[in-house]
Amino acid sequence: MPLMRRALLLPALLLVASAAAAQAVTHVNAPVVPTPGAGFSAGLVKDPRIAAVLADIAPARIRYTDSVLVSFGTRHTMSDTVSETRGIGAARRFLYGELRAFSRDCGGCLVVEYDPHDATISRFRDRPVARVVNVLAWLPGRDTTRVVVIGGHYDSCVCSVDAADATSDAPGADDDGSGTSAVVELARVMSKRFPKGFDATVVFALYAAEEQGLLGSTGLAKRLHDDKKTVVASLTDDIVGNVVADDGHTDSTSIRLYAVDSIPSRSGELARYVWGMGTIYTPKFEVRPTFRLDRIGRGGDHSPFHRMGDPGLRFSERLENLKRQHLPTDDLANVNFGYVANVARLNLATVASLASAPNPVDSVVQRRDRASGGQKWQITWKPVSGAARYEVLFRQTTSPTWTQVYDAGTATTFLLDEQLDDGWAAVRAVGADGHRSLTTVAGSGAGAPRPAAVPAPAPTPPPAPAP
């Protein structure tokens, strides 16, 4: 462990040096270097209060929720809404009832609601208008202007483009009964174990009309923006239960996540955060980030948030089988609930950590340091309410995640002894209890990512089929 030992020794030496150098550098810690093969924690640390809750996620509870959803035959957005035994109406009343029961058990800590709006189903030939009804449970935080959204879509389909689509059997056990049931289980466990909530509000979102063009999530994203909420992150579990490929190949120990990684979006920073969370909270469950919006030609409920400038990403099983998606064969027998539970544990660690952390810093400026002949860089940012201190991170452009972490203390400026011509720098806020915000990447002197800098949302959903 030579690197570890050096990391422990260096801060003391540098503190002595920095005292002599007056205000040039407030506080410098040695880099945290990731251990090859052990994943990349990027300096994130485990909170024992969160770790202790992960075992509460129960595969049997997830299976129960999914089996009831499947029993409704179809949950097509335009299916029967009156029947108690078939169609999307029965499904959403069941979900609403479950969430209300959790809220009763936690002394009313969850605010449960139907979230309806009307939308044109442009994928159908006659473009009908349908009632799109999300089911939401809010776990209010101390700051209700900031929200962390964790969602899955409860609608299903066999995804034809005619009226028969709404009446055909579409069990949707994996797509997306699995993600919906995971989110319901998160609402159960997190309301029970954290009834007073976190710093930010958590929204457990069960979307409708994903299959008709992400209509439910688009509606929620617009509503949150109209209400001037800051979306800390939006995560979606979609197709998270199959572990056997068509050729029999099996993978029950890794999960894919999809996020765009380009400035000014923070979605890539969210992916790195989840990657780190997996490394420290669920180390036997491998997180496999892919830096693109989604699988090729596919779409998901993180996309509307990403397009509106919010950090968003999608979880999907490692091995998909298209012979069991959007078909009557998407049944319970092909969902591995132990696997879904592991996805939910990763979700829980991420959501609880982000909701416990301060806001990210708003913008980060980088300037070449002339005193060092251009070898060092001056990094500056504005203070964040609730931040106890700050960390400056660095990675080479070729590194997929942050490899060095420097403690900047309470300062809002830092002299970085790294060559930014060859890499990226970022800053994050650290709360008093050690929770880290998402990182904000230093821009080229013009400030860092801001939602306002992101293009306006697309007027219509993407044409690709949405799973």
Q: Which of 140, 176, 241, 190 is nearest to 347 (CA)?
A: 190
The rounded distance, in Å, linking the Cα atoms of 327 and 206 is 21
Binding mask 188-227 for Zn ion (x = CB under 5 A): ----------------------------------------
Q: Tell me: does residue 237 bind Zn ion (CB under 5 A).
A: no
CA distances from 204 to 8, 106, 140, 170, 261 (A): 41, 15, 11, 24, 25
Please, how many CA atoms are within 13 Å of residue 2, restricted to the half-sphere of its CB?
A: 0
Cis bond leading into 294, ω under 30°?
no
Q: Tell me: does residue 98 bind Zn ion (CB under 5 A).
A: no
Q: Tell me: does residue 176 bind Zn ion (CB under 5 A).
A: yes
At closest approach, how far in Å is the CB of 15 from Zn ion? 52
Candidates 77-85, 224-232, 238-246, 434-442: pick the segment binding Zn ion (CB under 5 A).
Answer: 238-246
Candidates 218-226, 302-310, 339-347, 459-467: pick the segment binding Zn ion (CB under 5 A).
Answer: 459-467
The rounded distance, in Å, linking the Cα atoms of 187 and 380 is 39
* Nearest CB to Zn ion, comparing residues 237 and 407: 237
The rounded distance, in Å, linking the Cα atoms of 406 and 377 is 13
The rounded distance, in Å, linking the Cα atoms of 404 and 417 is 11
Q: Does residue 296 sit in helix, strand or coil?
A: coil
* Nearest CB to Zn ion, comparing residues 175 and 185: 175
Q: From its phi and psi, is residue 248 left (phi > 0), alpha (psi between -120 and 50) or beta? A: left
DSSP code, position 358: P
Candidates 42-50, 173-181, 214-222, 337-345: pick the segment binding Zn ion (CB under 5 A).
Answer: 173-181
Q: Tell me: does residue 467 bind Zn ion (CB under 5 A).
A: yes
Candidates 168-176, 216-224, 289-297, 327-335: pick the segment binding Zn ion (CB under 5 A).
Answer: 168-176
Which alpha helices (DSSP H) does 28-87 contain, by range?
48-51, 59-71
Binding mask 367-386 for Zn ion (x = CB under 5 A): --------------------
* Nearest CB to Zn ion, comparing residues 352 and 466: 466
* Nearest CB to Zn ion, comparing residues 180 and 437: 180
At closest approach, how far in Å is the CB of 176 from Zn ion? 4
The rounded distance, in Å, linking the Cα atoms of 354 and 55 is 19
Q: Regarding beta strands 286-290 and 376-381, do their DSSP bridges make them parallel or antiparallel, or are they unpaired?
A: unpaired
* Nearest CB to Zn ion, comparing residues 217 and 366: 217
At closest approach, how far in Å is the CB of 295 from Zn ion? 11
| AA letter at 402 | W
Q: Which residue has the tokens 């091995």?
A: 319
At closest approach, how far in Å is the CB of 95 from Zn ion? 16
* Nearest CB to Zn ion, comparing residues 29 and 242: 242
Q: Candidates 98, 155, 175, 185: give the one binding Zn ion (CB under 5 A).
A: 175
* Nearest CB to Zn ion, comparing residues 152 and 311: 152
At closest approach, how far in Å is the CB of 350 from Zn ion? 20
At closest approach, how far in Å is the CB of 180 from Zn ion? 10
The rounded distance, in Å, linking the Cα atoms of 380 and 371 is 17
At closest approach, how far in Å is the CB of 38 from Zn ion? 32
| AA letter at 230 | T
Task: Evaluate whether 133 touches 291 at the Cβ level (below 8 Å).
Answer: no
CA distances from 215 to 221, 302, 303, 323, 466 (A): 10, 12, 11, 25, 10
At closest approach, how far in Å is the CB of 45 from Zn ion? 33
Handedness of CA 364, 368, 370, 376 (dihedral sign): positive
* Nearest CB to Zn ion, comparing residues 155 and 199: 155
At closest approach, how far in Å is the CB of 334 from Zn ion? 15
Number of residues binding to Zn ion, judged by CB under 5 A: 4
* Nearest CB to Zn ion, comparing residues 310 and 330: 330
What are the φ and ψ backbone dihedral angles of 201, each rounded to 5 degrees?
-75, 145
* Nearest CB to Zn ion, comparing residues 175 and 407: 175
At closest approach, how far in Å is the CB of 244 from Zn ion? 18
Q: Candidates 238, 294, 301, 391: give the one binding Zn ion (CB under 5 A).
A: 238
Residues that bind Zn ion (CB under 5 A): 175-176, 238, 467
